[in-house]
């Protein structure tokens, strides 16, 4: 054994003070890129097959109301790692931002407490973590794959691994879903999208990549079992936000913020339980630290899920989890040149209602239109056959409403009755009989944002638009 390995071995045992009786749990987080709810078999979606996600849910806990902090890759992943809402992360609140080294991440804390920490493929990002003063990627040291990560582990050392698949992010191979046997007749389309064969086949392509992600997670679990670590590993499977379709990714509707979430831990937690409490992916960081016996920093605004995981009950377990908040800042540079604004907004979601406040209703929610049919209109929405179909047919009376839902400017407030309108397409914010509901929810939203130290509560003209964009500069329309 080399000197470096001996030193690591000693640090590991001294820092953890481990005994056979109090073995630390391993952590495996498998996160898909652009995978939204309810696109998994266990949620009742018959159009997509996710046997591994379904089995983790069966062996553990399935969350039916899990949400991200922001429906955008960089801020969503930064929020997961920090256990804080994205608006507290400064530059990390924007896509293609950075994350400052003084922000404590669960990966940093576990590494300091004897864990081997690493990731493969897409971790935190996209962005420049080095610009924030970090020398190691936020999700941990980069490994080629899970196998190479395990080979670097000292025997008995607890580990924390982030598997960041790039599925089902666009682009897709056209008609790959149909060619792989996905039945477009079984696909359920959000009511915010036109029910047309072009859209169904596009969703089928998305489903095929969801299934590919699921099959890759199966290999990770097999490796855990081969290593004899399955029973002592917390397995978390989720996505970073909704699917890359109009009015989904980048939007504060369920189609953009609600994600699949299943957690298992061998025989340490009772399986086959569905939890309907509202949870945020910012709750994962304090959960991991809690289970590892590491003190949760005061600045982490997420709440540990340990009490839920160790309970033997299901349904609604925690009365304080009767709502969730989330929001967004800048996704891409998509407003009128030379503006660096995003589309700042915040929302509160309860069992019955969704209330959204759009801070800049004069801006375009999906980016500016350019009167082009070549896919560069509304560049804050990923290019896709679905997007282009809606744009190309925007003058069709049957398609006009979908064009407006996806791309038109939005009012300051949006309010949706989830019992009557689960897909959130009819705004009730300015109807007289919903005025009291809007006011009550907005008061509750402001209180929650105040508690979470949201800069937008201090000044609606805060500095998010001034933060540097480290991505490729787009040619902005004038």
**DSSP run (H or E) holding 119:** strand 116-121
Which residues is 315 bridged to in the sheet? 275
Strand segments (E) across 188-290 = 233-239, 258-264, 273-275, 279-280
| Predicted pLDDT at 11 | 47
**Domain assignments of the chain as residue spans, ordered by start:** 24-318, 325-466
Contact, 376 vs 388, CB < 8 A?
no
Q: Which of 326, 269, 347, 311 is nearest to 80 (CA)?
A: 326
Domain 24-318 has CATH 3.30.70.260: no
Which residues is 66 bridged to in the sheet? 259, 279
Its sign, for the CA torsion 324, 325, 331, 337, is positive
Residues 6+ apart with CB under 8 A from 447: none
Q: What is the pTM of this model?
A: 0.94
DSSP class per residue in 340-366: -----EEEEEESSEEEEEES-TTS-TT
Burial of 407 (0-12, 13-18, 19+ CB in 10 A): buried
Longest dimension (CA), the chain: 75
Burial of 227 (0-12, 13-18, 19+ CB in 10 A): middle
**DSSP run (H or E) holding 164:** strand 159-164
Residues 6+ apart with CB under 8 A from 280: 66, 67, 68, 69, 79, 302, 324, 326
Separation CA 262–CA 238 (nearest Å)? 7
DSSP class per residue in 17-55: ---GGGPPPEEEEEEESS--TT-SGGGT-TTS--HHHHH
Tokens of 342: 């995003």
CA dihedral 240, 243, 246, 247 (to 10 degrees): -60
CA dihedral 280, 286, 287, 291 (to 10 degrees): 180
Separation CA 414–CA 365 (nearest Å)? 13
Contact, 203 vs 194, CB < 8 A?
no
Q: For 412, which DSSP code?
A: S
pLDDT one digit per residue (tens) for the chain, 478 residues: 444 444 444 444 444 443 433 689 999 999 999 999 999 999 999 999 999 999 999 999 999 999 999 999 999 999 999 999 999 999 999 999 999 999 999 999 999 999 999 999 999 999 999 999 999 999 999 999 999 999 999 999 999 999 999 999 999 999 999 999 999 999 999 999 999 999 999 999 999 999 999 999 999 999 999 999 999 999 999 999 999 999 999 999 999 999 999 999 999 999 999 999 999 999 999 999 999 999 999 999 999 999 999 999 999 999 999 999 999 999 999 998 888 999 999 999 999 999 999 999 999 999 999 855 444 689 999 999 999 999 999 999 999 999 999 999 999 999 999 999 999 999 999 999 999 999 999 999 999 999 999 999 987 778 899 999 999 765 544 4
Contact, 323 vs 449, CB < 8 A?
no
Contact, 342 vs 329, CB < 8 A?
yes
């Amino acid at each position: 054994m080399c000197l470096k390995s001996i030193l690591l071995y000693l640090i590991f045992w001294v820092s953890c003070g481990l005994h056979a009786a109090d073995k630390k749990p391993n952590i495996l987080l498998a996160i898909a890129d652009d995978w939204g709810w309810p696109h998994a078999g266990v949620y009742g979606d018959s159009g997509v097959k996710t046997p591994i996600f379904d089995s983790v849910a069966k062996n553990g806990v399935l969350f039916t109301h899990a949400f991200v902090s922001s429906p955008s890759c960089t801020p969503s992943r930064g929020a997961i790692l920090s256990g804080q809402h994205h608006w507290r992360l400064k530059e990390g609140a924007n896509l293609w931002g950075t994350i400052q080294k003084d922000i404590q991440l669960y990966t940093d804390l576990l590494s300091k407490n004897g864990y081997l920490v690493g990731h493969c493929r897409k971790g935190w990002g996209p962005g420049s973590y080095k610009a924030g003063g970090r020398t190691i990627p936020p999700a941990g040291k980069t490994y080629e794959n899970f196998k190479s990560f395990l080979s670097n582990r000292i025997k008995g050392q607890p580990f924390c691994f982030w598997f960041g698949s790039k599925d089902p992010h666009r682009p897709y191979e056209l008609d790959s879903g149909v060619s792989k046997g996905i039945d477009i007749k079984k696909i359920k389309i959000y009511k915010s999208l036109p029910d047309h064969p072009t859209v169904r086949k596009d969703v089928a392509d998305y489903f095929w990549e969801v299934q590919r992600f699921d099959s890759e997670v199966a290999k990770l679990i097999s490796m855990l079992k081969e290593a004899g670590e399955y029973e002592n590993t917390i397995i978390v499977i989720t996505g970073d936000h909704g699917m890359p379709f109009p009015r989904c990714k980048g939007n504060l509707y369920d189609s953009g913020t609600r994600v699949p979430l299943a957690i298992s831990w061998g025989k340490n937690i009772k399986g086959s339980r569905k939890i309907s409490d509202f949870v945020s992916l910012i709750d994962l960081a304090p959960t991991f630290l809690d289970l590892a016996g590491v003190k949760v920093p005061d600045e982490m605004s997420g709440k540990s899920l340990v009490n839920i995981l160790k309970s033997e009950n299901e349904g609604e377990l925690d009365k304080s989890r009767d709502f969730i908040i989330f929001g967004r800042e800048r996704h891409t540079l998509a407003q009128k040149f030379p503006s660096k604004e995003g589309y700042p907004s915040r929302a509160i979601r309860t069992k019955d209602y969704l209330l959204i406040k759009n801070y800049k209703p004069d801006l375009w929610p999906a980016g500016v239109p350019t009167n082009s049919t070549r896919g560069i209109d509304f560049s804050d929405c990923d290019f896709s056959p679905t997007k282009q179909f809606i744009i190309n047919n925007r003058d069709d009376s049957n398609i006009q409403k979908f064009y407006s839902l996806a791309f038109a400017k939005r009012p300051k407030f949006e309010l949706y009755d989830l019992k009557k309108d689960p897909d959130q397409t009819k705004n009730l914010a300015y109807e007289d009989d919903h005025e009291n509901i809007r006011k009550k929810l907005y008061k509750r939203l402001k209180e929650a944002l105040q508690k979470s130290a949201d800069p937008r509560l201090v000044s609606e003209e805060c500095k998010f638009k001034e933060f540097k964009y480290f991505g490729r500069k787009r040619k902005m329309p004038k």
